[in-house]
Structure 1
């Protein structure tokens, strides 16, 4: 049997053909597929969440973990104690700060990518507030002046936040301008199209549905190929000294 999945010391590509479901206490009619986790050496978890036909919910306890949510398809409702419920549709996103009891309900069409990490507080900064929106309403900007490679920042660029969630869209043939090597860790989901990703010294064909992990200092580069634009959702840690 063949698969494009590859898990190495400093990076990983998780293709959909190898997804294995998990069930968790406190979840009802909801399934988690853990794409990335500390078990592979990452400092974050990236989880694909789906729901059964008649709907269900997933629950995350009030603890030190913060959560960022992106709705790939369908709709969902975000519930927090003593706060109004928030409804999200396709391309909806949310940031839920640590120390929040969080429940997400969805239906059979609902497909969510969730990033989960331990919040790094600073004594001189307030907790970051929750954020809700839809990527379809977020303006994109040329990346380093390249009109064919455009970036959408879904969360505020604010030092209270210790993570960023962005969408990067490339026209066919567009590339990252150089091989990046940096302290920031990435968790990623290919949303549309296809391309070639360099991770370390390896080159991988990637397509919609693939999850990717890049450890700090893993050399990385991307080129969009094919006839359609390629886009990916990605997490990175920011605003904290190592």
Structure 2
């Protein structure tokens, strides 16, 4: 850190209960017990209005989580934005490189460790699991998004969607990757009950958030609250892509 070289300013937009755009500049590190030699920032949380918690994690050389991430009644997910890590539960281990991910069901902790001298950058997530009587329980899922074929989205060949978790109803959430070629867009402005937390992986876009058109780009984070109007155009010279969470497969509660 040093003295500022210009006027203090930020692209961040925080609308509690509605949406948030959080660029990487200005993030403050949090001390989370169990994370060693890591920089970790809490992005979305119930204090913002979210029903889940999203973290941005940079694991330096030797960085790891020693206590385990997760707890009874809470499901967790990690996505590797950059680098190579070891991710394991008490009885399974996975090597995850860029685009690798691991989902752990409630009550099963995940342990994370950087496997290289360079930094590893992670998107980390947790939320309370909502059981569904009579349908069983979710299970550990791991994979690499780069090995999943993108499906044409809403009959538009310049927009592709990947599902990272099974569509089985025992899962009350999913993670997706949506990719827009330059000039690709949503087919309409969406309004829905689901929340999202999105880590922008590449490119640039113009995003409509609560009927405001806002420029966004790689390494930004967006939280979308329930019923917030949302849609985007991909702009620039490379595909605009992001990985995001979505709650699903449950009825609304009274």
| TM-score over 0.5 for the pair | yes
Q: Choose the corresponding residue for 2:108, options 100, 107, 131.
A: 100
* Range with greater deviation from structure 2 (2-11 or 45-54): 45-54
Q: Does 1:72 align with 2:81?
A: yes
Q: Does 1:192 align with 2:202?
A: yes
Q: Does 1:153 align with 2:166?
A: no
Q: TM-score scaled by structure 2?
A: 0.92
Q: How does 1:33-44 map to 2 (within 5 A)?
A: 33-44=41-52
1:78-122 superposed Cα distances (whole Å, 9 cap, x missing partner) = 1212x1211111110111111012211115421110121100011
Q: Does 1:163 align with 2:173?
A: yes
Q: Does 1:123 align with 2:133?
A: yes
Q: Contact 1:193–1:208 at 8 Å: present in 2 too?
A: yes
| Rounded Cα–Cα distance in structure 2 between residues aligned with 1:38 and 1:167 | 24
| Rounded Cα–Cα distance in structure 2 between residues aligned with 1:176 and 1:192 | 17
| Rounded Cα–Cα distance in structure 2 between residues aligned with 1:49 and 1:183 | 28
Cα offset, 1:61, TM superposition = 4.2
Cα offset, 1:27, TM superposition = 2.0
Q: How does 1:1-242 map to 2 (within 5 A)?
A: 1-9=8-16, 10-57=18-65, 59-81=68-90, 83-106=91-114, 107=116, 108-242=118-252
Which runs of 5 or more residues in structure 1 are unaligned? none
RMSD: 1.2
Q: TM-score scaled by structure 1?
A: 0.96
